Amino acid sequence: MKKLLSLSLALLLAFTMTACGDASASEEAGKAGAEEQLVAGMVWYNFGDTFITATRNAVSDAAEGGNIKIDAADSQVDISTQTNNINNLLTKDVDFLTINNINPAGAPEYIAKAKEKDIPVIFVNCDSPSDEDLNSYDKAFHISSAAEQSGYIQGDLASQYWNENPAADRNGNGKMDYIMLVGMQGNYDSKMRTEKSVERVIENGIEVNLIQEALCNWQRAEAQNQVASIIAARRDDIDVIFANNDDMALGAIEALKASGFFADEDSYIPVLGVDATKVGVEAIKEGTLMGSSLNNPVILGSTVYKMIELLSEGKEITTETLGRTVSEDGNHIWLDYVQITAENTEDAEY
């Protein structure tokens, strides 16, 4: 009897030790798994921007189920806030840093900070750091669309409308009188879209006249207010409105509607945007926004995440591995724009 009791106690003790050992092993495995998860710190210029929201959602969708956690911060269109966001993420020891940069002059500093932490830094949908700055660190990259393409698309659409519609010259002066709505002063995309759209019109043999260039900080409400003021002063002179993004174009359309435009064919003003956002495409279908240039946020967001994945696996960033056009030096990843009009709105579905 004593032998049986001793045997039972021994078996119970062995089972308990095994169970505890399994629990400890499971707990350690869980800790190891948690420690292996990487974190990508992402600094966006403004969560309220329609395009940025769609891009952030695309990154989150791509990251779902993966081993890379996203820690995103909103700079609220403020350079000081952006710098604080970057510093905070670096303090958290993130494994990757992406910056939707609104401070081109700060790029060298941001690269140096990433280099000090020995983590990749990716500048997303913004001005590119100089080649010198990018080459100062082998883990510095730039992903963006070729901004001049969007300007050329706007210029070609405006030229086509002008040539096909003699009544487009509303004051009969023989010149395309235009308003230019600028996203941000000093921003590369703004600069390219502003310059190249008009350059293309001139290349197409059309004389132009700038009514007013208005800085609207990418914001719909600011564009609406600016255009309303211009309409009050120059109502009969406006032939075309170029906007550096769809949000500002939609603000211009609201101001035009409030002043009686778009009531019929005789009160139509061509308005051109960039990004082909969902609301922008709806305006194209409605017939108020004449056209836009698709900068696909799903492609941008998924490309950003794919690049981070490749870097986490120690793989080289090439056109073949990324599936996007990578420059010869490996620093730049370029995404193409697509012209969107009423004839191909389905191409903007994402």
Half-sphere exposure of 199 (CA within 13 A, CB side): 11
Hey, which residues does 96 pair with through a beta bridge? 40
d(CA 132, CA 262): 49
Give domain status of residue 51, yes or no.
Answer: yes
Q: Are residues 82 and 161 in the same domain?
A: no
Both tokens of 172, joined, read 């009969």
Give domain status of residue 19, yes or no.
Answer: no
Give the percent of the chain with pLDDT over 70.
Answer: 90
Q: Are residues 281 and 199 in the same domain?
A: yes
Hey, which residues does 338 pair with through a beta bridge? 294
Q: Are residues 325 and 279 in the same domain?
A: no
Hey, which residues does 122 pair with through a beta bridge? 98, 141
Q: Which domain holds residue 269?
A: 148-294
pLDDT digit string, tens, across residues 54-92: 999 999 999 998 999 999 999 999 999 999 999 999 999
Buried b (16+ CB within 10 A) or exposed e, 278-301: ebbbebbeeebbbbbbbbbbbbbb
Q: Are residues 271 and 245 in the same domain?
A: yes
Q: Which helix (H) or strand (E) is 339 found in, with range? A: strand 338-340
Q: Are residues 163 and 290 in the same domain?
A: yes
Total number of domains constituting the chain: 2
What CATH number is given to the structural domain containing 73? 3.40.50.2300
d(CA 125, CA 127): 7
Q: What is the model's pLDDT at position 349? A: 87
Q: Tell if the pTM clears 0.85, that is, is over it.
A: no
**Residue 193 amino acid letter:** R
- Overall average pLDDT of the 220-226 stretch: 98
Give domain status of residue 350, yes or no.
Answer: no
Q: Are residues 262 and 129 in the same domain?
A: no
Q: What is the model's pLDDT at position 18? A: 44
Three-state secondary-structure class, residue 95 = coil
Closest CA to 97 of 68, 123, 66: 123
Q: Are residues 220 and 311 in the same domain?
A: no
Q: Are residues 212 and 227 in the same domain?
A: yes
- 66: Cβ contacts below 8 Å, ≥ 6 apart: 305, 309
pLDDT digit string, tens, across residues 15-30: 444 444 444 444 444 4
Q: Are residues 182 and 304 in the same domain?
A: no
Give me the count of residues in the chain: 350
Half-sphere exposure of 125 (CA within 13 A, CB side): 25
Of 245, 279, 294, which marks where a domain is finished? 294
Give domain status of residue 68, yes or no.
Answer: yes
Q: Are residues 263 and 288 in the same domain?
A: yes
pLDDT digit string, tens, across residues 162-214: 999 999 999 999 999 999 999 998 888 999 999 999 999 999 999 999 999 99
Q: Are residues 303 and 244 in the same domain?
A: no
For residues 337 and 150, is the Cβ–Cβ distance under 8 A?
Answer: yes
Give domain status of residue 108, yes or no.
Answer: yes
- 19: Cβ contacts below 8 Å, ≥ 6 apart: none
Q: Are residues 128 and 153 in the same domain?
A: no
Give domain status of residue 349, yes or no.
Answer: no
Give domain status of residue 9, yes or no.
Answer: no
pLDDT digit string, tens, across residues 302-343: 999 999 999 999 999 999 999 999 999 899 999 999 999 999
